[in-house]
């Protein structure tokens, strides 16, 4: 629960996902002006467990108050967002806007793996330490 532990965790996540430093930045339209949402995407190489393709969704609440937001994530339809810090699976993305609620100054970093059945999909579930579960 210490700041040191949190910082180490964030550094480990960044090291597992080179996309944070070299991926393409794509800002997403958010229903709430207090929320900044974007993806970082990279294709190819062997940078992670999915053979190099990596997409991370970052959603940031810039307000000190809790904020709801709806995101248009249809291009990632059928993907199941996996929260990077704890490896928690969120509901699959569908046709409707994706609804999230963030605490004041809160954020989410999600891995967006290819949908199940996709030839580029993962062979095993994601875990926060980057190992098969």
Question: Could you tell me if 104 and 68 are in contact, meaning their C-beta atoms sit under 8 angstroms apart?
Answer: no
**pLDDT band for position 133 (cuts 50, 70, 90):** very low
Lowest-confidence region among 4-18, 24-38, 43-57: 43-57
Integer angstrom CA distances of residue 124 from 30, 78, 120, 121: 31, 17, 12, 9
Class of the CATH-defined domain 3-111: mainly beta
| pTM for the whole structure | 0.79
Cα separation, 64 vs 41, in Å, equals 28
Q: What is the pLDDT of residues 100-123, one digit of tens each?
A: 999 999 999 999 998 877 655 444
Where along the chain do its domains lie?
3-111
pLDDT of residue 52: 52
């Amino acid at each position: 629960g210490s700041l040191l532990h949190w910082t180490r965790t964030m550094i480990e996540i960044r090291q597992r996902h080179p996309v944070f430093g070299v991926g393409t930045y794509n800002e997403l339209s958010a229903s709430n002006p207090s929320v900044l949402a974007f993806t970082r995407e990279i294709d190819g190489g062997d940078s992670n467990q999915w053979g190099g393709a990596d997409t991370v969704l970052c959603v940031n609440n810039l307000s000190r108050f809790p904020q709801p937001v709806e995101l248009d994530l249809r291009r990632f339809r059928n993907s199941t967002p996996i929260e990077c810090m704890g490896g928690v699976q969120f509901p699959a993305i569908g046709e409707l806007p994706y609804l999230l609620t963030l605490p004041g100054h809160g954020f989410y970093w999600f891995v967006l793996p290819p949908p199940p059945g996709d030839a580029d999909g993962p062979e095993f579930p994601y875990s926060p330490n980057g190992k098969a579960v």
